[in-house]
Amino acid sequence: MSSVLIPKEQQTAYERWEMSSFSDGLSMANVNKAKKKEESVSTDKIAEIFEGVRKEAFAKGMQEGFSVGMDKARQYAQTDKLAFLKLMDSFSHALEQSDEQIADDALSLALEIAKAMLKVKLNIDNSVVLPVVMDAIHYLPYVQKPARILVHHEDAQILRDYLAEEIASQHWHIQEDHNIERGGCLVETGANQIDATNEVRWKRISDALAQNNHWLLP
């Protein structure tokens, strides 16, 4: 094709068609190029919008998930707290019962030891019966005849040797009784009786301590 520009009116019909086709081709190429550019811009814009929506949805999902997770955590914490408080209450109750049982066992053991020591003392100390008899006599509001002191036969001689004057001045009569254990006594008058036997005196101590500890049991 000639590079010389020929005025349009001097161009042949073929030349005018050729130039028109070439111009149309250029126009179509520009249009296609523009469309592709628009499509590229449109795709980028859609991708940008999609990414923005995705990020927003992710952030919202994280926020909602965190909120739900915190609610669940608070529920679990409350459940654990209640379970822990229940466990502590049970433990405290068990500890109180344990302390009470330990105290009761310790007291029972102390009574057993005291009883054993008293029985040993009664066997080795002949004078043990003297304060017992004097205390029993003093419990009486007055002495009314007949007045008797019932003691073990081995304690009877002890009373005669150590309390002869006191007994004689108040007209007491010493009477031996093999049913009375050494160290104890029965004091009787016409109106009153004082039981100061070992078994009865020990029972008073045991009852005062809310213990069922019998004197005759080992």
Of 75, 98, 124, which one is at a domain's C-terminal end?
124
Domain of residue 158, CATH code: 3.30.2320.30
Tell me the residue type at 21. Answer: S
Angle between helix 13-124 and helix 198-208 axes, rounded to 10 deg: 160
What pLDDT score was predicted for residue 2? 44
- Which of 124, 158, 183 terminates a domain? The answer is 124
In what helix (H) or strand (E) does residue 171 lie, and over which residues does it extend?
none
Residues 56 and 96 in one domain: yes
**Which residue, of 124, 154, 180, is where some domain finishes?**
124
Percent of the chain topping pLDDT 70? 64
Same structural domain, 32 and 19: yes
> With a threshold of 0.75, does the pTM exceed it?
no
Q: Domain residues for 188?
A: 126-208
Distance CA 123, CA 114 (A): 14
pLDDT score at 151: 95
Contact 185, 90 (CB under 8 A): no
Is 152 found in the same domain as 94?
A: no
Domain count, the chain: 2
Beta carbons of 175 and 188 less than 8 angstroms apart: no
Same domain, 18 and 90: yes
Taking only the tens place, the pLDDT of each residue in 29-59 is 555 565 555 555 566 676 677 677 777 766 7
Partnered with residue 150 across adjacent β-strands are 175, 186
Q: Look at residue 164 and tell me whether its pLDDT is greater than 50.
A: yes
